[in-house]
Structure 1
Amino acid sequence: MSWNIADRALVSWLGTPDTDIGWCGYETASTPDAVWLLHAMYEHDSAPSELTYNDVRQHRLAAGSKEPFSLPGLAEIDANSVEIGSSVGRSQHPGPGWRRLRWAELADRLGEQPVPEGMLPCYRCLPGATTNGSWPVSIRPPAEGSLDRESWHALLEVLTACSPRGADTPCVAYFGPGASGEFDTGITVSGPLGSAAELYDHPGGQGSPSNLWAADRSWITWSDWDLWGTKVTGPPEVVAAVLGSSELEGLRLSWG
């Protein structure tokens, strides 16, 4: 692997363990410009749209094929909880029969905004697609906490094209405790932009890093462990390139 463990001090411009450990990654500002990348969702035309992930879960509980929690007090919570259908961490195209479903397409179908005003991309978005909070099994909702693999690669292509040193651009990546399990300091690594694709499978993370930035701090990404979107902050040309990529779904949020 081209990325090596680096000094935690490289992250200090974002926060330190004494002030903010960046549990879900460090929230980034919106200057000079910023865009949100919406994590990919997929649709299967032949899957039953009236059946939700929670329906499937309840059927399994009733049939005894899914064991409820055995710890005292948790069995009742498990039985009454709702299975949303979203995964956490790494995700990618599900395979044959599935097609990419853009947030904008689904929002038009529902007559909603992709991301309601004042909200960030998360499981509360596009409520019209769900039944009691659960998605239909015909749709794979976005993964929480990480870009999908295909969008991560596409983003890196954009960042490489927009960086003066291209693939040789020195970068730093941070996996917050929520993603890495290293509760005291998170995991900090450094390496060249040209090999950043391998960060997606880094043993210290579970998908795209919480933050990735050029060493000169000209641009930075933020994949919060609790969100369905990844924020890219940088010069206007970077944001324009992200918005212009046919492989990415970008959205400007004036409030985020």
Structure 2
Amino acid sequence: MMDIEDAWARVPGEAARWLHDMDPDHCYSGFEPLRRPDSVWLLHAMYAWEEGLVTTTHDDVHQSVTAAGLTDPAGEAPGDPGDVGDLLEGAIVTGTDLGRSGHPGTGWRRLRWRELARGFGEPVVPEGELPGNRCLRQGHPAGSWSAAIQPPAEGCLDRESWHRLIGVLLRHSPAGAGTRCLAYYCPLVTADWDDETVFAGRLGDAAALYDHPDMPSCPSDLWAEDRSWVVYCDWDLWGTKVVGPTALVDAVLADPDLEAVRLPWTR
């Protein structure tokens, strides 16, 4: 089994300077690259319970469990500097995961954004918006999704789509698995606000980055050393942007296991 930490070596943060210069205002959550020359947004996967939807929400479930005294008391004791209990009191549990996600298992089916949007009679992504919590509002009008829906994860492409995307990148990179790549993790992922976290490795080893033992997420930015393509995953969004040649973008759009859209109003 490949050792991720051996395959991906830490390099000076200066390697991400060109991305910072392109998008200096978003270094905390990831750098959004400009079209180079084309771009597409991958929509993070969501899932529905096969037996049908319910009106009970994720927040309803949380409130019931809390009222029954079944919540996990693990964490800082009240009064500790890290205690956030008071801050979270009254917060709505939306059902949205932050970071890594994947197929929930038996009994769940893939629910495409297009399927849900069509049922609601609304666009997949409203004009002028990015894939995030302002999308598919009729699916979570009060903030929390139906407990029979596993909504898109925030901040990280789902596991299955990440592996599928790496396969597309391999086919559209002349050096294939040997393509030299760099991976940047933003401070909201690393909690390191002093130094940029950048790793260097091979595209053939990029699928394994999804499970880097020191990170809760896929890279915020992954790019070929020659900058011919960039993958951008903002910690605050439900979508992952891929920029590069039109042939690559068309391949992402055509892949049956990926759900992707062009958003012409984005950078």
Q: TM over 0.5: same fold?
A: yes
Gaps of 5+ in 2: none
1:255 corresponds to which letter in structure 2?
A: W
1:26 to 22, 31, 46: 31
Task: Output the CA distance in 2 between the equivalents of 1:36 and 1:229.
Answer: 6
Once residues 7 and 67 of structure 1 are traced to their aligned partners in structure 2, the CA distance between those partners, rounded to angstroms, is 40
Displacement of 1:67 in angstroms is 6.8
TM-score of the two chains, using structure 2 as the length reference: 0.89
Greater shift after overlay, 73-82 or 83-92? 73-82
Q: Deviations over 1:35-90 (max 9, x none)?
A: 00000000112265111001011112222223799459965653421111000100
Partner residue, 1:63: 68
Further displaced range: 6-15 or 140-149: 6-15
CA drift at 1:105: 0.7
**Structure 2 counterparts to residues 108-127 of structure 1, below 5 A:** 108-127=118-137
Q: Paired residue for 2:55?
A: 50
- The residue type paired with residue 212 of structure 1 is L
Q: What is the match of residue 16 of structure 2?
A: 11
Of residues 87, 99, 106, the one that matches 1:89 is 99
**1:121-149: CA deviation from partner (whole Å, max 9, x where unpaired):** 01221011124111001110000000001
Cα distance change of structure 1 residues 194 and 202 upon mapping to structure 2, 3 Å threshold: same
User: Who is 2:207 aligned against?
Assistant: 197
Q: What are the residue-to-residue correspondences of 1:166-185 with 2, within 5 Å?
A: 166-185=176-195
**Alignment counterpart, residue 172 of structure 2, candidates 153, 162, 173:** 162
Alignment match, 2:263: 253
1:22 deviation in Å?
1.5
Q: Distance in 1 between matches of 2:115 and 2:26?
A: 37
Partner Cα separation in structure 2 for residue 75 and residue 6 of structure 1: 38
- 1:78-108 C-alpha deviation (Å, 9 max, x unpaired): 3421111000100011101111111001111
How big is the alpha-carbon RMSD for the aligned residues of Structure 1 and Structure 2?
2.1
What corresponds to 1:230 in structure 2? 240
Query: Which whole-Å CA distance do the structure 1 matches of 2:135 and 2:223 have between them?
Result: 27
Deviation per CA, 1:182-228: give whole Å up to 9, x if none: 22123100111011011111133222200000000000010000000
Q: Is the 8 A contact 1:61 1:67 kept in 2?
A: no
Shift of 1:27: 1.1
Per mean C-alpha deviation after superposition, the further-off stretch among 69-78 and 81-90 is 69-78
Q: Deviations over 1:217-246 (max 9, x none)?
A: 000010000000000010101100100111
Q: Is the 8 A contact 2:156 2:233 kept in 1?
A: yes
**Does residue 40 in structure 1 map to residue 50 in structure 2?**
no
Cα distance in structure 1, aligned partners of 2:127 and 2:101: 27
Does the CA-based 8 Å contact 1:223-1:230 persist in structure 2?
Answer: yes
The answer to whether the 8 A contact 2:26-2:32 is kept is no
The letter of the residue matching 1:248 is L
Q: Distance between the aligned counterparts of 2:263 and 2:151, measured in 1?
A: 20
Identical aligned residues as a percent: 47
Change (3 A) 1:151 1:67: closer
Structure 1: state its 5+ residue gaps: none
Q: For residues 214 and 178 of structure 1, what CA distance do their matches in structure 2 show?
A: 23
**Kept after mapping to 2: 8 A contact 1:47/1:137:** no
How many aligned positions are there? Answer: 254
Question: CA 1:21–1:44 in structure 2 vs 1: closer, same or farther (change >3 Å)?
Answer: closer
Aligned to 2:112: 102
Q: Counterpart of 2:206 in 1: which secondary structure?
A: helix
Distance 1:47 1:64, change over 3 A: farther
